[in-house]
Amino acid sequence: MPFCLLSCPQRSLFLFQQSKRKNGHSALPIDLLKDEQFLLKDRIDPFGCVAEELKLVERTLARSLHSQEEKLTEVASHLIEGGGKRVRPMITLLSFKLLGGVKVQDAVDIATAIELIHTATLLHDDIIDGAETRRGRDSAYKKFGLKNSLITGDFLFIKGFEFAGKFDETVVQWTADACTQLTEGEILQGFFNRNIAVTIPDYLEIVTRKTASLFQTGARVGAYLAGASPSLIEVMSQYGLNLGIAFQIIDDVLDVIGHERLLGKPTGMDLRDGNPSLPIILALNEGHRAVEEAFVGSRPSEEKIQAAIQAIAKSTAIEQAKALSRKYSDKAFNLLEKLPPSIYRNGLRTMVQLVVERQT
């Protein structure tokens, strides 16, 4: 988790703010956050900016996994405690704090909901893909089987909605819409499975629904719960959307050129599963036969997979994919110009950079 490795010179300042809140005082008014001392030109550890809130999310996640049936808790814990990056909760919390949110428990609850829903989709995705590894160890599907993974996925969806359902109709609707988009994205991805007709607009449609929708909802709800104006909520919504697309493109790139040990799973999974990743689409557009053979074959041999990976790596696909990711990440970065400067804004900007530069 590279986020933890960054320095955070503002930690003490941040903790000073935090401690005031813990004593029941109201949060710093947003005007105060405009103070020059918060205008940081350098990177800031986004994890450190909301460390206390993230601890609360971890505690809330752990509590929500408790079930009368130990198996549910065991399967859910396997994934939740298995080293997720918590990118979605972090975006939610940073957005909330940037917009001057006061009731931290609100942000913690919705950040928890979003992570639970995300984890539910991972469990179900692994069943669909027959994935054997996830986050460096056996997938829940491999370790606990189809039945336990499927039911635990349902359990986590339910727990996620239990948290989201505590809020007003707007939050419920946005969360439900994001979840509907997740399922629609999965179906659309299935439609283009091993299908060379897939185009870049199709790809962007898939990743917008399947990945970016939850990033978008986290950033949007965080701002909404902070009491931000509709226009600022929309800015944060667009930030989340663009960051989410950039995030998924880098995921696809790492599936080709990443380090298996860092990723915690083998590379080439998109080719094995026939998922239309951006580098695959770009290499197909360049007419690389080896990529086409591995992508369209129903059970491509390991030899063909490796040949396709080599072909993609040697093509301009990775370069092009990174450039497209950069386009979306730049947009996310620049959108934050419209928000008042603060450590949280710096944290969200650093998030953008980390997402683009990440190795895992």
The CB-of-220 to a copy of itself minimum distance in angstroms stands at 16
Residue 88 in contact with a copy of itself, rule: CB under 8 A? no
**Which of 95, 148, 208, 267 touches a copy of itself by CB under 8 A?**
148
What is the Cα–Cα distance from 2 to 354, expressed in whole angstroms?
Answer: 8
Closer to a copy of itself at the Cβ: 87 or 188?
A: 188
Residue 298 in contact with a copy of itself, rule: CB under 8 A? no
Which residue has tokens 């606990």?
Answer: 144
The CB-of-193 to a copy of itself minimum distance in angstroms stands at 9
**Which of 3, 14, 47, 161 touches a copy of itself by CB under 8 A?**
161
Site string for a copy of itself, 166-195 (x = CB under 8 A): x--x--xx-xx--xx-xxx-xxx-xx----
Long-range contact pairs involving 304-307 (C-beta distance under 8 Å, separation at least 24): 305/268, 305/271, 305/272, 306/268
Closer to a copy of itself at the Cβ: 155 or 215?
A: 155
Closer to a copy of itself at the Cβ: 58 or 184?
A: 184
The CB-of-147 to a copy of itself minimum distance in angstroms stands at 5
The CB-of-109 to a copy of itself minimum distance in angstroms stands at 12
What is the Cα–Cα distance from 28 to 48, expressed in whole angstroms?
Answer: 18
Site string for a copy of itself, 55-74 (x = CB under 8 A): ------------xxx-xx--
The CB-of-146 to a copy of itself minimum distance in angstroms stands at 7
Q: What is the number of H-type helices and E-type strands within the chain?
A: 18, 2
The CB-of-240 to a copy of itself minimum distance in angstroms stands at 19
Closer to a copy of itself at the Cβ: 69 or 337?
A: 69
Angle at CA of residue 240, ends 355 and 63, nearest 5°: 85
> Are the beta carbons of 327 and 242 closer than 8 angstroms?
no
The three-class DSSP label of residue 133 is: strand
- b/e for 263-284, b at 16 or more Cβ within 10 A? bbbebbbbbbbbbbbbbbbbbb
Residue 40 in contact with a copy of itself, rule: CB under 8 A? no
What is the Cα–Cα distance from 279 to 26, expressed in whole angstroms?
Answer: 48
What is the Cα–Cα distance from 154 to 120, expressed in whole angstroms?
Answer: 7
Kindly state the tokens that stand for 2.
Answer: 């590279």
The CB-of-116 to a copy of itself minimum distance in angstroms stands at 12
Which residue has tokens 């972090």?
Answer: 90
Closer to a copy of itself at the Cβ: 189 or 315?
A: 189
Total of chain residues touching a copy of itself, rule CB under 8 A: 42
Site string for a copy of itself, 108-127 (x = CB under 8 A): ------------xx--x--x
Closer to a copy of itself at the Cβ: 164 or 324?
A: 164
292 φ/ψ angles, rounded to the nearest 5 degrees: -60, -45
Long-range contact pairs involving 326-334 (C-beta distance under 8 Å, separation at least 24): 326/246, 326/356, 328/242, 328/243, 328/245, 328/246, 328/249, 329/242, 329/243, 329/246, 329/353, 329/355, 329/356, 331/238, 331/242, 332/238, 332/239, 332/240, 332/242, 332/243, 332/246
What is the Cα–Cα distance from 111 to 324, expressed in whole angstroms?
Answer: 28
Kindly indicate which of the ranges 53-61, 149-157, 286-294, 314-322 contains the residues binding a copy of itself, using the contact rule CB under 8 A: 149-157
- Contacts with a copy of itself, residue ranges (CB under 8 A): 67-69, 71-72, 120-121, 124, 127-128, 146-148, 150-155, 157-159, 161-162, 164-166, 169, 172-173, 175-176, 179-180, 182-184, 186-188, 190-191
